[in-house]
Amino acid sequence: MKLSVLDQSISLAGSSEDAALRDSLELAEHCERLGYHRFWVSEHHSLPTIVGTAPEILLAAIAARTRRIRLGSAGVMLPHYSAFKVAEVFRVLDALAPGRIDLGVGRAPGGDRRTAQALNPHASGMAEDFPEQVMDLGAWVSGQPHRGVVAHPRPPQGDPSRTPDLWVLGSSDYGAQLAAHLGLPYAFAYFFMDGQGVEQALHLYRTLFKPGPRRERPEATICVWVLVAGSDEEARHHALSRDRWRLDRARGLLGPLRAPDEIAERGFSVEEASTLEPMRRRAFVGSQETVGAQLRALAAGLQLDELVVNTWAHDPAVRRQSYTLLAREFGLLA
């Protein structure tokens, strides 16, 4: 099975936001050495926890420090932008990292309504134009003339691998159906909804898929939240940071990821513990053997040969260890 990475540049209590971006660079190099297939970065805005606001710039920096691993956005929130400009940016990225760029796009705002307005004051109703935007983007990012204009730099003639691979991202049936209609690969944000709706979305995608210019068959993956440590108990302790964040987010309290020792000392109320219980049952948290078995079962049940892994931890070393143990469990290091 292929394993890939989604990194969100998480800010950490006691550290600075710019340090989160530098850690993303170091993590990309680390995951390339471990044998991961892709390294994707996200786009969020006006959030004090997820500070990766410009995936295009971050990808350029990662491209300069890596040689093999595929790099991509998960994703560019297309309704905020001109499809032509996005195509130009990713054509430049392809020139910097030839043949290893993925362009994942989403329809969600990646922030609240006021933030969306600040990003594009004229974006009202743009979400309805998303399918047309994706089609325009696919034409322009190929480097071919479209609507009388061309996105430069163009790829070498006759080299289809030098076109960024366009993916549709989503967490509902909408994105699955759009990707199927356009013959594009599809990634489902499993971690976003704790897996709710994944079976339906993948079924729709596979049954409705129409071959496209670069795909004769459907290609799907999902992104799961994972934390691996030396033991189940140790992993559950480090996962307290995200547990606390999820509870606080539900109350509208957003901030940097907090240290698990601090959270363990404070504990959780009876009500909070009750809320966390079903979340923890669906979590992929534990030793490499525990999580490895869970992920294999999930991939088999959903007929997937690639999983994208997202990991949060307050200590960057814990996060790197998690990816190392997972790579060891799935034989990537060999």
Q: Is 45 helix (H, G, I), strand (E, B) or coil?
A: coil
DSSP 59-78: HHHHHHH-SSSEEEEEEEEG
Average pLDDT, rounded, for the chain: 94
pLDDT digits (tens, 9 = 90+) for 266-275: 999 999 999 9
- Alpha-carbon Rg for the chain in angstroms: 20
User: Which residues does residue 186 pair with via DSSP β-bridges, in sequence order?
Assistant: 168, 220
Name the helix (H) or strand (E) containing 284. strand 284-286
Q: Is 32 helix (H, G, I), strand (E, B) or coil?
A: helix
Q: Which residue has the tokens 């004090």?
A: 48
- The answer to whether 195 touches 226, Cβ cutoff 8 Å, is no
C-alpha angle 9/11/12, rounded to 5°?
A: 130
Task: Give residues with Cβ within 8 angstroms of 154, minimum separation 6.
Answer: 91, 143
Question: Residue 110: is its pLDDT beyond 70?
Answer: no
Q: Backbone phi, then psi, for 187, in 5-degree steps?
A: -125, 125
Give the Cα separation of 166 and 143 in Å (integer).
Answer: 13
Sign of CA dihedral 113, 115, 119, 121: positive
Among candidate residues 232, 256, 228, 226, the one with its CA nearest the CA of residue 244:
256
Question: Residue 334: is its pLDDT beyond 60?
Answer: no
User: Is the N-terminal amide bond of 267 cis, ω within 30° of 0?
Assistant: no
In order of start, what are the domains of the chain with their CATH numbers? 1-170 (3.20.20.30), 220-305+316-334 (no CATH)
The percent of residues in the chain predicted with pLDDT above 70, rounded, is 97
The percent of residues in the chain predicted with pLDDT above 90, rounded, is 86
Q: End-to-end alpha-carbon separation of the chain, Å?
A: 13
Predicted pLDDT of residue 141? 96
Give the Cα separation of 324 and 249 in Å (integer).
Answer: 29
Predicted pLDDT of residue 124? 65
Confidence of residue 192 (pLDDT cuts 50, 70, 90): confident
Give the Cα separation of 86 and 83 in Å (integer).
Answer: 5
Burial of 281 (C-beta count, 10 Å sphere; 0-12/13-18/19+): exposed
- The answer to whether 76 touches 89, Cβ cutoff 8 Å, is no
Question: Residue 94: is its pLDDT beyond 80?
Answer: yes
- The answer to whether 313 touches 323, Cβ cutoff 8 Å, is no
DSSP 136-190: HHHHHHTTS-BTTB--SSPPPTT-GGGS-EEEEEESSHHHHHHHHHHT--EEE-G
